[in-house]
């Protein structure tokens, strides 16, 4: 073999070693970046879970407020329905406490806030009577449901089960 081929072979091996070293260095960098990314995702998930737990505690607060007569049945049911939807628990909560969805459905059309204030006294009275009739009809069942929800904690579902 002549010196030209030996030199080319040595240069080729050196280039391969340099590229292998560079590839190894890049692989280590990718692993560090991926580990950092996984850590940050886990941190975000933990924070997200805490926020969802805080929102879920709102259901217990609403149930307690209703039981202490600080909220009407209509207002409590509509608020619990909205929170349950935000947490994607409406199927879970509605299965255990269907009366809440029943009242929310039957009172959803009633005007609230400024729309209620804009009604004449006669119309306000008609709306109040309708709301009270619905609330009275479901009072016993709603009280039982609210008792069950006053210590509500967001259920943790296995990802495979959801």
Q: Does residue 59 fall inside a structural domain?
A: yes
Q: Does residue 98 fall inside a structural domain?
A: yes
Tens of pLDDT along the chain (162 residues)?
688 889 999 999 999 999 999 999 999 999 999 999 998 888 877 777 887 788 788 999 999 999 999 999 999 999 999 998 888 888 888 899 999 999 999 999 999 989 999 999 999 999 999 999 999 999 999 999 999 998 887 777 555 444
Q: Does residue 108 fall inside a structural domain?
A: yes
Q: What predicted TM-score, i.e. pTM, was given to this entire model?
A: 0.68
Q: Which domain holds residue 108?
A: 48-149
Query: What total number of domains does the chain contain?
Result: 1
**What local confidence, expressed as pLDDT, does residue 136 receive?**
96
Report the b/e string of 57-77 with b at 16+ CB within 10 A: ebbbbbbbbbbeeebbbbbbb
Q: Does residue 2 fall inside a structural domain?
A: no
CB 133 within 8 A of CB 103: no
**What local confidence, expressed as pLDDT, does residue 162 receive?**
42
Q: Does residue 133 fall inside a structural domain?
A: yes
């Amino acid at each position: 073999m002549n010196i030209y081929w030996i030199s080319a072979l040595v240069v080729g091996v050196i280039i391969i070693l340099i590229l292998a070293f560079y590839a190894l260095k890049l692989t280590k960098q990718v692993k560090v970046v991926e580990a950092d990314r996984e850590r940050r995702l886990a941190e975000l998930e933990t924070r997200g879970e805490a926020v969802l737990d805080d929102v879920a505690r709102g259901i217990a607060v609403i149930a307690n407020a209703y039981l202490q007569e600080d909220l009407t049945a209509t207002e409590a049911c509509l608020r619990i329905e909205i929170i349950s939807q935000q947490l994607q628990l409406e199927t879970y909560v509605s299965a255990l406490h269907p009366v809440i969805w029943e009242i929310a459905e039957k009172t959803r059309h009633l005007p609230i806030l400024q729309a209620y204030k804009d009604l004449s006294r006669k119309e306000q009275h008609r709306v109040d009577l309708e709301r009270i009739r619905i609330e009275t009809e479901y009072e016993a069942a709603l009280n039982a449901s609210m008792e069950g929800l006053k210590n509500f904690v967001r259920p943790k579902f296995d990802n495979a089960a959801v």
